[in-house]
Amino acid sequence: MKAFAGSSVKMVLVGIASLMLLGSCQNDELCEEATSNPLRMGFYLPTVTDGSPTTYTLDSLSLYGSGRPDSLLYDNTKSVRSIEVPLNPASGTTGFVFTFPGEITDTLWVAYTHSLNFVSAECGFTMFYEIQEVTHTNARIHSIQLPQTLVNHSLEEHIKILLYPDPEL
């Protein structure tokens, strides 16, 4: 009888320990929100259609950060209508070098302020940016428009790049 009582106690203890282990194996809260906020740019022709510039698709595009030609963000990417690029949170300015078809290059500089924003306990913090100024060279870039200056978790386009028509057409 003692052996039966001892084995029953062991079984109960093993059962309780198993339940405790299973209960402690729950997944931690996962971050399901975006914590990186890329700068979104689209390509257009200055020709106005319905009050807006005409959307344009580049045959190809290569792009890297100014001063960082070894780190291509886009490497001869085909059929490009829009791009997403990172801003440098340790700086107030980021430059991008565009190489268009025909080896035409332009550089675009974005000046901004940035602020650290709390997302949640699971996700931590994210950086928001406020675009102050955009300057560029004029080999292929005609002008720019800033429909949205706040770079945060929204999916809105921040910069419209208006291009001179393709010289190869």
Instruction: Tell me if 78 is assigned to some domain.
Output: yes
What's residue 26's pLDDT? 45
Task: Tell whether the torsion through CA atoms of 137, 143, 148 and 149 is positive or negative.
Answer: positive
Instruction: Tell me if 155 is assigned to some domain.
Output: yes
Instruction: Tell me if 52 is assigned to some domain.
Output: yes
What's residue 69's pLDDT? 80
The answer to whether residue 49 scores a pLDDT higher than 80 is no
Instruction: Tell me if 9 is assigned to some domain.
Output: no
| Between 113 and 20, residue with greater pLDDT | 113
The answer to whether residue 77 scores a pLDDT higher than 50 is yes
The answer to whether residue 137 scores a pLDDT higher than 90 is yes
Q: Which two tokens stand for residue 76?
A: 């001869």
Instruction: Tell me if 31 is assigned to some domain.
Output: no
Instruction: Tell me if 27 is assigned to some domain.
Output: no
CB atoms within 10 A of CB 75: 11
Instruction: Tell me if 108 is assigned to some domain.
Output: yes
How many domains would you assign to the chain?
Answer: 1
Quick one: which H or E segment has residue 140?
Answer: none
Question: For residues 83, 87, 92 and 94, what is the CA-based torsion angle, rounded to 10 degrees?
Answer: -50
Q: In this structure, what DSSP letter does residue 103 have?
A: T
What's residue 51's pLDDT? 81
Q: Taking a C-beta distance cutoff of 8 angstroms, is the pair 82, 58 a contact? A: no
Instruction: Tell me if 102 is assigned to some domain.
Output: yes
Nearest to 112 by CA among 90, 132, 84: 132
63 class by beta-carbon count within 10 Å (0-12 exposed, 13-18 middle, 19+ buried)? buried
**Domain of residue 97, residue span:** 39-163
Number of H helices, E strands in the chain: 1, 11
